[in-house]
Amino acid sequence: MRTTINIDEDAVLAARHMAQRERISLGDAVSELIRRGTRQPDTALVQSAPLRGRFALLPVRDEVITPQHVRELMEREGI
CA separation for the pair 26, 23 (Å, rounded): 9
Total count of residues recorded for the chain: 79
Which amino acid does the sequence have at 76? R
Give domain status of residue 3, yes or no.
no
Q: Specify the number of domains making up the chain.
A: 1
Amino acid at 3: T
Residue 1 lies in a domain: no
**Could you give the C-alpha distances from 70 to 12, 13, 23, in angstroms and in order?**
30, 27, 32
What pairs with residue 55 in β-bridges?
Answer: 52
Query: In this structure, is residue 24 part of a structural domain?
Result: yes
pTM across the whole model: 0.49
The parent domain of residue 59 ranges over 9-77
pLDDT per position as a tens digit, 35-74: 988 886 554 444 566 677 777 777 777 888 889 988 998 8
